[in-house]
A = this chain, B = another copy of it.
Amino acid sequence: MVTTLRALRGRGTMGLTELAARAELSRPTVEGLAEELLSLGWLAEEPPETGRMGRPRRLFRFRAEAGHVLGVDIGAHSVRALVCDLEGRVVGRFSTRVRADSGRADRLNAVRDTAAAALEEAGAGAARVMAACVGTTGVVTAQGVVRLSVGLPEWTGIDLAAELAGDLGPVVLVENDTNLAALAEQWTGVAEGVQDLLFVLSGVRTGAGMLIRGEVHRGRRGMAGEIGALPLVGWHRAPSHLAGFGGLPAGTPPEEAAGLALSAARSGDPAARWAVEQYAHDLAEGIAALVLAMDPDLVVIGGGVSRSGDVLLEPIRRHLDPLCLEPPRLAVSTLGDQAVVLGALRHALNHVDAGLYDIDAPFPTPKDS
């Protein structure tokens, strides 16, 4: 059944001859398996093709609507949620602004409300969610506990998997947000097909996520990519150059400072250009350490500043290349502020796939039958 499901998945509607060829099984065997998957609710049969000679041609498709997955990005200033079907088509979305100084309870409520609103747009309840994934800043354990977070108040120690289990569905995965962004770049961003990927989140804070041989590399304690903790390289001071740029209007919120400084640099403001130069210098130090450590296929710069790739890429490259043995491949994310929530969707889909494709486990039940 797994072979038949794999052969059909993501390929639209298919007749038995093609299905048998793709699954490398005989036609009668594939027909039997398709019948079984039909009765389980994982396949649908479309009206047969008419107007042809011989018996009508039976057509099958994977029931992408057999369940949903939910992705959530818990940020300092916002919570974003996306719902998609099992082929990855987005069918619901919602975002909520939150205050950066929100405490644990308020932020958790925003997560629950945002997820519920996205599910409502999808016409689905939490009971239809086959897997949910929540992305958060900080060091996340394999059990879904935030072991250390400097970015969000009252966040260190929170057991997100347990807090959200009832509200977001039966399976709530928790993952570091930069790791999810790396997954998203590989899925649908500038890193399609890349196996060893370094994703650098830059903006109000700086962080890194990585894929090795196509999979998220978390490290033993979920601490891979935390080069910002090493004061010898400049990540700890990098954001201050943009946030402290003197040309900002009084009272500029910190989350807008970087964008304004980069805009001013684009317009040729000398002080802003100097701030960007300093920022690129310090960012490059940490990127160089990670590039020298893992030698990735590609480095993707994402996060808030990725909208200003035209201003940033050249100085980053100029500071980075001399620090590396050979210049690494460098690209700017095109997913913008959607990278983390898209990565959360992909991570949840991967979890569903692992269940569907696990030949040693009982076959899962669709959520709509």
Task: Kindly state whether residue A196 has any CB partner on chain B within 8 Å.
Answer: yes
**Which of A230, A285, A326 has the most B CB atoms < 10 Å from its CB?**
A230
- Please encode chain A, from 202 to 241, with 1 for each CB lying within 8 Å of some chain B CB and 0 for all others: 0000000000110101111111111101101100000000
**Quick one: which of B218, B224, B293 contacts A227, CB cutoff 8 A?**
B293
Instruction: Return chain B residues, CB-CB under 8 Å to A222.
Output: 295
**Quick one: which of B148, B289, B326 contacts A289, CB cutoff 8 A?**
B289
**Quick one: which of B224, B285, B293, B296 contacts A220, CB cutoff 8 A?**
B296
Which residue of B has the minimal Cβ distance to A231? B323
Seed contacts A223-B326, A224-B293, A230-B288; 10 additional CB < 8 Å A-B pairs:
A139-B325, A213-B215, A218-B295, A220-B295, A221-B295, A223-B325, A224-B294, A225-B293, A229-B325, A233-B289
**What separation, in Å, do the CA atoms of A289 and B293 have in the docked complex?**
8
Instruction: Return chain B residues, CB-CB under 8 Å to A226.
Output: 292, 295, 325
Task: Kindly state whether residue A120 has any CB partner on chain B within 8 Å.
Answer: no
Task: Kindly state whether residue A297 has any CB partner on chain B within 8 Å.
Answer: yes
Is the contact region of chain A dominated by helix, strand, or loop, or is it mixed? loop
Task: Kindly state whether residue A290 has any CB partner on chain B within 8 Å.
Answer: yes
Task: Kindly state whether residue A37 has any CB partner on chain B within 8 Å.
Answer: no
Instruction: Return chain B residues, CB-CB under 8 Å to A323.
Output: 229-230
Task: Kindly state whether residue A7 has any CB partner on chain B within 8 Å.
Answer: no
**What separation, in Å, do the CA atoms of A229 and B293 have in the docked complex?**
10
Q: Contacts A232-B232, A325-B148, A325-B229: A224 and B295 contacting too (C-beta < 8 A)?
A: yes
Which residue of B has the minimal Cβ distance to A226? B292
Q: Is the CB of B148 within 8 A of A219?
A: no
Task: Kindly state whether residue A324 has any CB partner on chain B within 8 Å.
Answer: yes
**What separation, in Å, do the CA atoms of A289 and B219 have in the docked complex?**
14
**Quick one: which of B223, B232, B295 contacts A219, CB cutoff 8 A?**
B295
Which residue of B has the minimal Cβ distance to A194? B220
**What separation, in Å, do the CA atoms of A295 and B222 have in the docked complex?**
7
**What separation, in Å, do the CA atoms of A229 and B288 have in the docked complex?**
10
Instruction: Return chain B residues, CB-CB under 8 Å to A225.
Output: 292-293, 295
**What separation, in Å, do the CA atoms of A226 and B296 have in the docked complex?**
12
- Please encode chain A, from 299 to 340, with 1 for each CB lying within 8 Å of some chain B CB and 0 for all others: 000000000000000000000000111100000000000000
Q: Contacts A212-B213, A289-B289: A297 and B229 contacting too (C-beta < 8 A)?
A: no
A182 to chain B, nearest CB (A): 14
**What separation, in Å, do the CA atoms of A338 and B222 have in the docked complex?**
33
Instruction: Return chain B residues, CB-CB under 8 Å to A218.
Output: 295
- Please encode chain A, from 267 to 298, with 1 for each CB lying within 8 Å of some chain B CB and 0 for all others: 00000000000000000010011101111110
